[in-house]
Structure 1
Amino acid sequence: MNILILGSGGREHAFTLKLSESKKVNQIFVAPGNAGTDKIATNININPTDFAAVKQTVLENDIKMVVVGPEAPLVAGVHDFFLADNDLKYIPVIGPKKDGATLEGSKDFSKQFMQKYGVPTARYQSFTKENLTEGFTFLGTLAPPYVLKADGLAAGKGVLILNSLEEAKAELKEMVSNQKFGEASSTVVIEEFLKGIELSVFVLTDGKNYKILPSAKDYKRIGEGDTGLNTGGMGAISPVPFADDAFLNKVEELVVKPTIEGLQKDGIDYKGFIFIGLMNDNGNPSVVEYNVRMGDPETEVVLPRIESDLFDLFDGVANQNLDKKSFSVTSKTATTVMLVAGGYPEVYQKGKEISGFETIENSIAFHAGTTIKDDKVVTNGGRVMAVTSFGETIEEALEKSYKSIDKIHFDKMNYRKDIGFDLI
């Protein structure tokens, strides 16, 4: 079977590598892909939200399954596009339809959904420029820090956590009145700050049955000790030591089951991943947010730990018999450390030649922001490469990743040297 993967990051390289291990997969195409996917699949230079180009690619290459990596094509309705097209409607898409993707596409919708089905989450209210004064009043009922979230997709930048009430009021006005995050912040969700330790739990569902994938914790801040600006993720660890069986059982009973049942009750036929961002507060889970796809860089530690055939699991999603598919995970720890461009997450340069990654032996270099230019692999984004390793412990896995990183070079390369510092 030929498969098309939509996306270009480390997540998509991890999907490509895992699917290439399946004996049931013939050819893999990645659109647009990166320099890493180019080595093990065929890259197609199209935009994943250009559905006409996606259709042409599918028909020209006899694609029989489409796996959607990023959220934008899902929120834009790529799955619905396939179902509405006579040439495409029998081709399974791994990723929810537009109604299911609203769980990520609208923070307000997802909070209403959680409230409706009793999923534990922070107290909240939503505001627009029309009821800005009420927003100021609601802020006054909360204790700092104050959490403001743009309702729509804002490329990971639409969440503000502020310690000053006056600053929170000013930012709320900036978001709804002056469209600080564009149309995404025309509605803003204000919620109480959740205490505890953050982690992510991933679920793969066929709309009825589900598999809970390994837990992971990622590190968002650019600076060591979790300081500085937020990024798309500077590294990740799986499993999360404090997410023991007792905690994960609570997550399943209090979060996963009501989420899957709620989708069914709302008539949302959901086939794909649900990324559940959680806070562990003294052993009790609260949901920070839903995403409707795998996280990046969490995918680079979660997928390598799965021992089962990933295509077989996707086939279970497509045919709604996921419960019949075997599923096993290694007990080993996986860690990944993200190499980023100098200046990221602010202004950075592209086109820097990358060397040494071909020589690493005890790690996997997942390409993220890379491309090929004049037969050389060069940087093509802020987050460039994720270096993943296995170990019996977090320390052993990290030691391997950092040893491998010593062999990799590009101009102004930056990375955090303290990934996992809070778990060791």
Structure 2
Amino acid sequence: MKVLVLGSGGREHAFAWKLSQSDKLDKLYVAPGNAGTKELAENVNIDPNDFEKVRTFVLDKAIDMVIVGPEDPLVNGIHDFFLADEKLKQVAVIGPEKAAAEMEGSKDFAKDFMARHNIPTSQYRSITSENLEEGYEFLETLKAPYVLKADGLAAGKGVLIIEDLEEAKNSLKEMIGGMFGAASATVVIEEFLSGIELSVFVLTDGKNYKVLAEAKDYKRIGEGDTGLNTGGMGAISPVHFANEEFMSKVEERVIKPTIDGFQKDKTPFVGFVFIGLMKVGDDPFVIEYNVRMGDPETEVVLPRIKSDFLELMIAVADKKLDQFELELDERTVTTVMLVAGGYPEAYEKGKTISGIDQVTDSIVFHAGTTSKNNEVVTNGGRVIAVSSYGDTINSALKKSFNSAEKIQFEGKNYRKDIGFDLQ
């Protein structure tokens, strides 16, 4: 089978790593890929959002399956584009159609979906310039801290959590005024939920589903969960507080009504459902949905899948997921993200990376890297994810931290306290 993976990050390198282990794989392409995917597949210099170029490539190379990594092409309707084309509609696309991708493309859409299908979540209001006063009034009914979310895609950074009421009101006005561009023309104000976060990853063929694994990621740049939000500084799977009783509640109250909701709303969903949860007491509440695998959670979830990943994707495409026997590794996997100096604010690219070949106890997933003059150099804010297996969180983390020290580039930064709240 010939497979094209769309994307260039750590998630896509993890996909390529897992797919390349399958006997069913004949040829693997990644567009545009990075220095890590180059070792496993053929990188193709195509923007995943340039659907016409993707179309030409898929037809030229007789691609059988397209796995969409990032959210942008899905929200922009790449699956619909394939289905509307006589020559492309037989190609399997792993990723939802545009209508269902609004679950990530619009926070307001997702909240409305949850309300409609009785899925537990926090109180909220959606605010635009037209009802700004209503926003101020709703903030006054809430207790601090105040949560403001850009409705649209903002690269994982369109969320503010503010302690002071007046500051929250001012920030609401600034967001609507363009703080996050068009993404915050609508702002969703949410009640703050106090608990511990985790993410649950579900794969669906539109009717059947499999729960892949749960993970916990660390979004803040600073140790002790301080500082600015990032795309993610590390992750751990499994999460010990997500015990059988809790996960049973997640399945009954969240996963089943979500998958059923897609069918009731006639919004076809084929692919990965990322469910961001808050465990409040012993109960799950949904914070957000994403319509693809998370990053860096993919770098701990995929290593735990013992089954043939391409066979799993084929089962999704053939709508036979209920017949697939998913096997997970019971060991803990941890990943630590090495980031560029200055990230998540201004940072430089093009820094030479060394020491990757010295890593023996971990899997090195490239995120923001590229090849230049036969060297691997930095090409993004989040540069490399270092994933390790262990019988315990501590043993896995020790390997990841030791391996992180072996990899060098100017300005390298990483959190040394991943998992601090799970010990």
TM-score by shorter chain over 0.5: yes
**TM-score after normalising by structure 2:** 0.99
Q: Tell me the equivalent position of 1:41.
A: 41
Q: Tell me the equivalent position of 2:13.
A: 13
For the residues of structure 2 that align with 1:286 and 1:421, how far apart are their CA atoms?
Answer: 23
Opposite residue 361 of structure 1, the aligned amino acid is T
Q: Tell me the equivalent position of 2:369.
A: 370
For the residues of structure 1 that align with 2:128 and 2:401, how far apart are their CA atoms?
Answer: 46
Q: Tell me the equivalent position of 2:23.
A: 23
How far is 1:359 from its partner? 1.9
SS at match of 1:193: coil
1:111-136 deviation line (CA, Å, top 9, x unaligned): 00001101000011111101111111
Q: Tell me the equivalent position of 1:304.
A: 303
1:187-229 deviation line (CA, Å, top 9, x unaligned): 1111100110000000000010000011000001111111111
Structure 1 residue ranges without an equivalent (≥5):
none
For the residues of structure 2 that align with 1:393 and 1:209, how far apart are their CA atoms?
Answer: 32
For the residues of structure 1 that align with 2:36 and 2:385, how far apart are their CA atoms?
Answer: 11
How far is 1:184 from its partner? 1.0
For the residues of structure 1 that align with 2:60 and 2:231, how far apart are their CA atoms?
Answer: 34
For the residues of structure 2 that align with 1:29 and 1:283, how far apart are their CA atoms?
Answer: 43
Paired positions, count? 423
- Is it true that 1:259 corresponds to 2:258 in the alignment? yes
- List aligned pairs for 1:153-232, cutoff 5 A: 153-176=153-176, 178-232=177-231
Q: Tell me the equivalent position of 1:105.
A: 105
- Is it true that 1:54 corresponds to 2:59 in the alignment? no
For the residues of structure 1 that align with 2:80 and 2:154, how far apart are their CA atoms?
Answer: 22
For the residues of structure 2 that align with 1:233 and 1:389, how far apart are their CA atoms?
Answer: 17
- List aligned pairs for 1:247-286, cutoff 5 A: 247-286=246-285
Q: Tell me the equivalent position of 1:144.
A: 144
For the residues of structure 1 that align with 2:38 and 2:61, how far apart are their CA atoms?
Answer: 16
For the residues of structure 2 that align with 1:105 and 1:294, how far apart are their CA atoms?
Answer: 15
1:224-253 deviation line (CA, Å, top 9, x unaligned): 111111110000000011001110000000
For the residues of structure 2 that align with 1:89 and 1:62, how far apart are their CA atoms?
Answer: 13
Q: Tell me the equivalent position of 2:127.
A: 127
How far is 1:269 from its partner? 1.3
- List aligned pairs for 1:326-405, cutoff 5 A: 326-405=325-404
Opposite residue 109 of structure 1, the aligned amino acid is F
SS at match of 2:295: coil
For the residues of structure 2 that align with 1:309 and 1:422, how far apart are their CA atoms?
Answer: 33
Opposite residue 73 of structure 1, the aligned amino acid is P
4+ aligned runs moved over 3 Å, structure 1: none
How far is 1:313 from its partner? 1.1
How far is 1:86 from its partner? 1.1
Structure 2 residue ranges without an equivalent (≥5):
none
For the residues of structure 2 that align with 1:46 and 1:37, how far apart are their CA atoms?
Answer: 14
Q: Tell me the equivalent position of 2:409.
A: 410
How far is 1:157 from its partner? 1.4
**TM-score after normalising by structure 1:** 0.99
For the residues of structure 2 that align with 1:115 and 1:199, how far apart are their CA atoms?
Answer: 21
For the residues of structure 2 that align with 1:363 and 1:175, how far apart are their CA atoms?
Answer: 41
SS at match of 2:197: strand
Opposite residue 305 of structure 1, the aligned amino acid is R
How far is 1:183 from its partner? 1.1
For the residues of structure 2 that align with 1:398 and 1:30, how far apart are their CA atoms?
Answer: 29
For the residues of structure 1 that align with 2:334 and 2:362, how far apart are their CA atoms?
Answer: 10
SS at match of 1:214: strand
- Is it true that 1:85 corresponds to 2:98 in the alignment? no
For the residues of structure 2 that align with 1:411 and 1:195, how far apart are their CA atoms?
Answer: 38
Query: What is the aligned-residue identity percentage?
Result: 65
How far is 1:358 from its partner? 1.4
Aligned-residue CA RMSD in angstroms?
A: 0.6
SS at match of 1:28: strand
For the residues of structure 2 that align with 1:125 and 1:227, how far apart are their CA atoms?
Answer: 27
For the residues of structure 1 that align with 2:272 and 2:130, how far apart are their CA atoms?
Answer: 35
For the residues of structure 2 that align with 1:150 and 1:402, how far apart are their CA atoms?
Answer: 34
How far is 1:405 from its partner? 1.4
